Amino acid sequence: MNEQPLRGFESSQTVPLIELNNVWRTFITGGDVRVDALKSLSLSIHAGEFVAIVGASGSGKSTLMNILGCLDRPTAGEYHFAGRDVSSLDADALAQLRREAFGFVFQSYNLLPTATAEENVEIPAVYA
pLDDT in tens, 10-47: 555 689 999 999 999 999 988 889 999 999 999 999 99
Q: Indicate where the chain has its CATH 3.40.50.300 domain(s).
A: 10-87
Q: With 60 as the cut, is the pLDDT of residue 2 above it?
A: no
- Under 8 Å between Cβ of 24 and 74: yes
Q: Average pLDDT of the chain? A: 86
Q: Residues with Cβ < 8 Å from 36, sequence gap 6 or more? A: 24, 25, 26
**CATH class of the 10-87 domain in this structure:** alpha beta
Q: Residues with Cβ < 8 Å from 46, sequence gap 6 or more? A: 13, 16, 17
For residue 3, name the pLDDT band (cuts at 50, 70, 90): very low
Predicted TM-score (pTM) of this structure: 0.77
Q: With 50 as the cut, is the pLDDT of residue 54 above it?
A: yes
